[in-house]
């Protein structure tokens, strides 16, 4: 119970810091909109025949380009929270010299990671809902009611994202200057999950990676409920794959984080950056 309270306290501290930078919060919504969604929707318009996305209907199973992309951006935000939440927070703590004192408190190290993720997930979910609203209002995307049916999948995917956060946190702690690593892996992870296009058009190797990511299944279920696209796996097996891969990611993340922490203790390099 005390660890839960600690995680909430850490999340509140993160949220307080984020509130001091309003432009950054606005960018949670604005950045995906102008950097990914609008260019992608406009690229899609270039291929339209008499106002219909005939090609996209064939490859994605829906002609609703905006709906497809806005749901992808929603999931991309969750992935971004998993990658950048802990990376930003750890980096900031390292640079301001507060990481070592924070780790001397009786709170478990793993709780810090969960606290950071909680704060960023909250921001990203709120930003994602605003994005979906913009999609529905201005881009005629149709998804809201049906997307609620995919709520269990959206909750289940968070287990896997906690695991991913542990893995990223380990990399940041060991690499020290990990911006490029986090940025590039976040991009690949997000794209391979199918946020920007259906995985049917991916090269074979990327397809294999896509099938190993829990986010691929969560997004697939979400789109299937909201847009009526065909599921990658039949029926409940998609939920099973999502749960199993999420659990695997969590275990791998915890194990890696514990190893990274032990290595930092031995080398005494926690305060270095």
Partner 1 sequence: MRTAIADLRALSAAARKELRVIRRYPALWAGMLFWPVMLPAIYVLQAHAYAGGDARALAAFLSRSGTAQLAGFIFVGWSVYMWLSLSLWGPGTALRQQQVQGQLEAVFLTPASRAAVLFGPVVAYLSLTLWMLLVTGLALRLAFGVTLDAREVGQALVVVLASTPAIYGIGALFSSAVLRLREVNGLVQVVRGLFTVFCGMTYPIVILPQWAQHIAYGLPPTYVIGAFRLVLLSGATLVQVAPDLLILLGSGAVLCLLAALAFHASERYARRGGSLVQF
Nearest CB to partner 1, comparing residues 49 and 137 = 49
Is 58 one of the binding residues for partner 1 (CB under 8 A)? yes
Is 144 one of the binding residues for partner 1 (CB under 8 A)? no
Which of 2, 98, 140, 179 contacts partner 1 by CB under 8 A? 179
Nearest CB to partner 1, comparing residues 134 and 202 = 202
The end-to-end CA distance of the chain, in Å, is 33
Which of 125, 134, 202, 243 contacts partner 1 by CB under 8 A? 202
Please state the separation of Cα 245 from the chain's center in Å.
15
Nearest CB to partner 1, comparing residues 34 and 144 = 34
Instruction: Calculate the alpha carbon distances from 68 to 156, 241, 257, 260 in Å.
Output: 21, 22, 35, 38
Least distance to partner 1 from the beta carbon of 151, Å?
27
What are the φ and ψ backbone dihedral angles of 50, each rounded to 5 degrees? Answer: 50, 45
Q: What is the dihedral of CA 2, 122, 12, 8, to 10 degrees?
A: 0
Least distance to partner 1 from the beta carbon of 65, Å?
8
Is residue 199 within 8 Å of residue 210, measured between CB atoms?
Answer: yes
Nearest CB to partner 1, comparing residues 31 and 103 = 31
Nearest CB to partner 1, comparing residues 230 and 265 = 230
- Residue 27: which of 114, 96, 127 has the closest Cα? 127
How open is the CA angle 141-142-148, to the nearest 5 degrees? 125
Least distance to partner 1 from the beta carbon of 112, Å?
24
Q: Is the dihedral of CA 151, 141, 33, 39 positive or negative?
A: positive
Nearest CB to partner 1, comparing residues 153 and 199 = 199
Separation between Cα atoms, residue 94 and residue 176, nearest integer Å: 8
Which of 184, 237, 267, 269 contacts partner 1 by CB under 8 A? 184
Q: Which residues pair with 191 in a beta bridge?
A: none
Q: Beta-carbon neighbour count of residue 220 at 10 Å? A: 26
Q: Is the dihedral of CA 107, 93, 77, 205 positive or negative?
A: negative
Least distance to partner 1 from the beta carbon of 54, Å?
5
x-or-dash pattern for partner 1, window 21-50, by CB under 8 A?
A: x-xx-xx--xx-xxx--xxx-xxxxxxxx-
Binding site for partner 1 (CB under 8 A): 21, 23-24, 26-27, 30-31, 33-35, 38-40, 42-49, 53-60, 65, 177, 179-180, 183-184, 187-188, 191, 196-198, 200-202
């Amino acid at each position: 119970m005390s660890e839960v309270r600690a995680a909430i306290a850490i999340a509140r501290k993160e949220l307080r810091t984020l509130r001091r930078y309003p432009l950054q919060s606005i960018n949670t919504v604005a950045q995906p909109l102008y950097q990914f969604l609008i260019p992608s929707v406009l690229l899609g318009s270039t291929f339209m025949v008499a106002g219909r996305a005939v090609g996209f209907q064939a490859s994605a199973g829906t002609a609703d380009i905006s709906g497809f992309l806005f749901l992808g951006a929603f999931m991309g935000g969750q992935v971004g929270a998993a990658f950048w939440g802990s990376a930003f927070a750890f980096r900031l703590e390292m640079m301001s010299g507060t990481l070592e004192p924070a780790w001397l408190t009786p709170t478990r190290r793993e709780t810090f990671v969960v606290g950071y993720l909680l704060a960023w997930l909250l921001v990203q979910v709120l930003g994602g809902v605003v994005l979906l609203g913009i999609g529905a209002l201005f881009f005629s995307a149709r998804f809201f009611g049906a997307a609620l049916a995919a709520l269990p999948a959206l909750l289940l995917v968070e287990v896997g994202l906690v695991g991913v956060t542990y893995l990223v946190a380990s990399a940041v702690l060991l690499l020290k200057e990990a911006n490029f690593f986090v940025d590039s892996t976040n991009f690949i992870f997000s794209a391979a999950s199918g946020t920007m296009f259906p995985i049917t058009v991916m090269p074979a190797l990327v397809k294999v990676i896509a099938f190993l990511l829990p986010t691929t299944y969560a997004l697939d279920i979400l789109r299937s409920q909201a847009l009526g696209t065909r599921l990658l796996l039949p029926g409940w097996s998609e939920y099973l794959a999502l749960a199993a891969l999420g659990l695997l990611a969590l275990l791998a993340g915890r194990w890696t984080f514990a190893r990274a922490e032990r290595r930092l203790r031995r080398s005494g390099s926690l305060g270095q950056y």
